[in-house]
Structure 1
Amino acid sequence: MTRTSYHHGALRDTLLAACLRLIETEGIGAVSLRRVAREAGVSTGAPYHHFADRSALLAALSTRGFQHLASELAAARATADTPQTALTALAETYVRFSQEHPGYFRLMFRPELSQPEKHPDAMAAGDAAFEVLAATIAEGVTAGLLPADRADTLAIMWWSLAHGMASLWLDGQLEKRSRQLGTTAPTLVEDIMRTFTALVAPGA
């Protein structure tokens, strides 16, 4: 495809894909509009048709990452038969997402992108992903499986636990500890989440 053959939407998608490749291969520090343009095979001025600056490009990519995550979380929740099994499935999906999409995962939670006044689309996409978890917690409360007065705290606890496991696995530490325990990382993730849901159940 030549530089002049991109239509409006295809160019934006191509730039986002090039940016993601750079993050995955060289890290976020390698990203600049000029470098992304070179990676995409377009003129250095082409990115400015879609992104005002580097921050806008990264925010757009972060938005796409959260949209993918929300979709995968919703699919996992839909296949679970109880809120408790859904919480475990959501955690497994969250951790797996970090493995399958490390470029997205390393980008999505960067503090400079967590500014709703500057990047409202990214924040809205992140909130939509979190809402899948919040709705699952609410189902557990309604079913009497989780304490109603701790619902908000439990959602943050779950997120912290899942994000911590995802980060540890991405950095190679979870697999290391799993081998020491004579198990595998996926099995350890499942066991941790089952233990968590048992501990937070009313009367536990």
Structure 2
Amino acid sequence: MRRTSYHHGALRGALLEACLRLIETEGLAAVSLRRVAREAGVSCGAPYHHFADRAALLAALSVEGFRGLAADLAAARDSAATPMAQLTALAEAYVRFARNHPGHFRLMFRPELSQSEKHPDAAEVGDAAFAVLTDTIAACVAAGLLPAERADTLAVAWWALAHGLASLGVDGQLDKRRMQLCTDTATLVDDIMRAFTALLAPR
């Protein structure tokens, strides 16, 4: 049944939810403003009240995803007792976010949405999420647990590892391997990140 009207603020949220449903069920290729409008039960012209085009809609959804990721990472960091434990907790939160929000995760890192000159809001919140990691690594450096001269490289290496694990999780491959290893996902991620951080410690 078609919805004929939304409160102005509610329309934007409804369009974002409809877009996310399409991505999760049919993939990114299914997304168009016309299709999102139909999914939300509004007129074909309704999305243009909030989004200039498809790219603007996807960028807004990316912003929403990065804000959620940043909040999850900050909460995970704050729940861990030591800087090195925080790094492991961040990885677990990263993998968990991807599993719980696969539509957002598949969208957030697309190169056309990370161009700061075209989508400054998306780039800004992406940097804010990454800053949770770099701040945690800085705390490890300050505690003498990681070498200062390698801090920037280690941040990218950590991100690459956590993102790879998250991608494997979204695609179902991490579950396949953890079952072969007779463990659970959180324990597997914890073991991997502990092994990784052990290699980083100054000798």
Shift of 1:181: 2.3
Runs of at least 4 residues off by over 4 Å = none
8 A contact 2:70–2:128 mirrored in 1 = yes
Which structure 2 residues correspond to residues 22-101 of structure 1 after superposition, within 5 A? 22-101=22-101
* AA aligned opposite 2:51: F
Which structure 2 residues correspond to residues 121-136 of structure 1 after superposition, within 5 A? 121-136=121-136
Q: What RMSD, in angstroms, separates the aligned Cα atoms of the two structures?
A: 1.1
Calculate the TM-score normalised by the size of structure 2. 0.97
* Structure 2 match to 1:190: 190
Q: Which moved more, 1:65-74 or 1:180-189?
A: 180-189
| Residues paired across the two proteins, number | 202
- Per-residue Cα deviation, 1:131-183 (whole angstroms, up to 9, x for no partner): 00000000000000111000000100100000000111111211222222232
Q: Which moved more, 1:176-185 or 1:194-203?
A: 176-185
C-alpha separation in 1, matches of 2:77 and 2:93? 10
C-alpha separation in 1, matches of 2:182 and 2:10? 48
SS at match of 2:187: helix
C-alpha separation in 2, matches of 1:202 and 1:35? 54
Give 5+ residue unaligned stretches, structure 2.
none
C-alpha separation in 1, matches of 2:114 and 2:186? 29
Give 5+ residue unaligned stretches, structure 1.
none
- 1:104 partnered with 2:104: yes
* Structure 1 match to 2:113: 113
Calculate the TM-score normalised by the size of structure 1. 0.96
8 A contact 2:18–2:36 mirrored in 1 = yes
